[in-house]
């Protein structure tokens, strides 16, 4: 018998809450959850990664710059690809966790 896996669906924001090129943090909701950064690219695509820079304890959703598909941590200028989480330059060497984003009836959700 196969077991069905339950995927957590966390509400992030309403469509229109983020302008293209902006990001935000979805706070921790309970034990075992992590803060997630949600990004809206200039092209209108949503992406999500772990909110904390892997180099230093800094929020990427609240205090960073989105440049195309790259998020730049202002603390030490670490860059990450928001599509894959890949660390693109020093001082970051560890990728960010990424999460699937779905838009349903005007609401943006992060899965995972």
Are 52 and 42 within 8 A, CB to CB? no
C-alpha to C-alpha distance for 55 and 64, rounded to whole angstroms: 14
Counting residues of the chain whose pLDDT is more than 70, the rounded percentage is 95
State yes or no: pLDDT of 3 exceeds 50: no
Q: Output the pTM of the full model.
A: 0.91
Please tell me the predicted confidence (pLDDT) of residue 4.
53
Average per-residue pLDDT for the chain: 93
- Look at residues 92, 95, 37 and name the one whose alpha carbon lies nearest to residue 66: 37
C-alpha to C-alpha distance for 94 and 80, rounded to whole angstroms: 9
Which domains, ranges and CATH numbers included, belong to the chain? 9-111 (2.102.10.10)
CA 54 to the chain's CA centroid: 13
- Taken in order 42, 48, 51, 56, the sign of the CA dihedral is negative
User: Using 50, 70 and 90 to split pLDDT, how confident is the model at 1?
Assistant: very low
Mean pLDDT of 101-108: 98
Q: pLDDT digits over 22-35, tens only?
A: 999 998 877 777 89
Please give the structure tokens belonging to residue 88: 């693109």
């Amino acid at each position: 018998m196969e077991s069905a896996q339950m995927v957590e669906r966390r509400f992030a924001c309403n469509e229109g809450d983020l302008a293209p090129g902006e990001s935000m943090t979805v706070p921790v909701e309970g034990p075992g959850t992590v803060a997630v950064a949600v990004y809206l690219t200039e092209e209108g695509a949503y992406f999500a990664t772990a909110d904390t820079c892997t180099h230093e304890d800094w929020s990427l959703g609240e205090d960073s710059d989105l440049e195309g598909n790259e998020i730049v941590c202002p603390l030490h200028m670490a860059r990450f690809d928001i599509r894959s989480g890949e660390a693109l330059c020093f001082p970051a060497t560890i990728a960010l966790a990424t999460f699937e984003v779905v838009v349903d009836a005007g609401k943006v959700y992060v899965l995972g």
